[in-house]
């Protein structure tokens, strides 16, 4: 296993995770929205 990747500043790591979660939530939300909009 490669183990020597320079470790990220924990603040950057958390910021990355937060932004990724936000974008993931947007994607899931759009998926649900387009199905719900087609329910009658």
Partner 1 sequence: MSIATTATTAPHDEHHGPARGLMRWVTTTNHKDIGTLYLCFALAMFFVGGIMAMLIRAELFEPGLQLMQPTFFNEMTTMHALVMIFGAVMPAFVGLANWQIPMMIGAPDMALPRLNNWSFWILPFAAAMLLSTLFMQGGGPAGGWTMYPPLMLQTGEAFPFVIFAVHLLGISSVMGAINIVVTIFNMRAPGMSMMKMPLFVWTWLITAFLLIAVMPVLAGAVTMLLTDKFFDTSFFNAAGGGDPVMFQHIFWFFGHPEVYILILPAFGIVSQIIPTFARKPLFGYSSMVYATASIAFLSFIVWAHHMFTVGMPLTAELFFMYATMLIAVPTGVKVFNWVATMWRGSLTFETPMLFAIAFVVLFTIGGFSGLMLAITPADFQYHDTYFVVAHFHYVLVTGAVFAIMGATYYWLPKWTGHMYNEKLGKWHFWLSVVFVNVLFFPQHFLGLAGMPRRIPDYAVQFADWNMISTLGGFAFGASQLLFLYIVVQSIRGGAKATGRVWEGALGLEWTVPSPAPYHTFREAPEVH
Q: Could you tell me how many residues of this chain bind partner 1 (CB under 8 A)?
A: 27
Using CB under 8 A as the binding rule, whether residue 5 contacts partner 1 is answered as: yes
10 contacts partner 1 (rule: CB under 8 A): no
Question: Residue 6, interface with partner 1 (CB under 8 A)?
Answer: yes
d(CA 34, CA 37): 5
* Count of Cβ atoms closer than 10 Å to residue 1 Cβ: 2
**Least CB distance to partner 1 at residue 29 (A):** 8
What is the rounded CA–CA span in Å between residue 17 and residue 15?
Answer: 5
Question: Residue 1 CB, nearest distance to partner 1 (Å)?
Answer: 6
């Amino acid at each position: 296993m490669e183990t020597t990747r320079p470790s990220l500043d924990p603040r950057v790591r958390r910021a990355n995770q937060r932004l990724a979660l936000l974008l993931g939530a947007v994607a899931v939300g759009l998926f649900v929205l387009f199905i719900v909009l087609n329910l009658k």
